[in-house]
Amino acid sequence: MNDFVSNALTILALFVAIILLGLTHRKAGYSTGQSLAWAIALWIPGINVVAYLYFLTTEWPIERELRELRGLAGIGTEKEAAVNYEEAVKLQAKGRVAEASRRYEDVVARYPGTTASRDAAKSISFLKHGGDSP
């Protein structure tokens, strides 16, 4: 009887672990079937390491959807914001202050909440106070 209880608890623990791993993958945006497959794969020796590395290094469906929705809403990514900010800095360094100022304003408007947006706002303030380099 003791072996039966031990085996039953082991199976129950495995079942709960698979459910919890599946829920984690659902949060990442995978379908129920994909989540179950991921959860099972993570219990297979050898495959689990590869599956974890793949899961950690690839774009998740929820991230892809967020990126697409931001694109549709006209809200760019941190990387896009940084590229546009750097272009404004280059314009400013060339003495094209009016163009740089417009580009900074565009970064603030299109990429709210990003580091580049905050830096662009500081650059705009600096330019308004008569500076010509950040």
pLDDT at site 66 = 85
Local structure of residue 115 (DSSP, 8 states): H
Which secondary-structure segment (H or E) carries 98? helix 97-110
> What would the pLDDT profile of 60-117 be if each residue is shown by its tens digit?
999 888 877 877 776 777 888 889 999 999 999 999 999 999 999 999 988 888 899 9
pLDDT at site 1 = 65
pLDDT at site 74 = 67
Local structure of residue 56 (DSSP, 8 states): H
Mean pLDDT along residues 17-36: 88
Round the average pLDDT of the chain to a whole number and report it. 87
Runs of H (alpha helix) within 29-73:
32-41, 47-57, 61-73
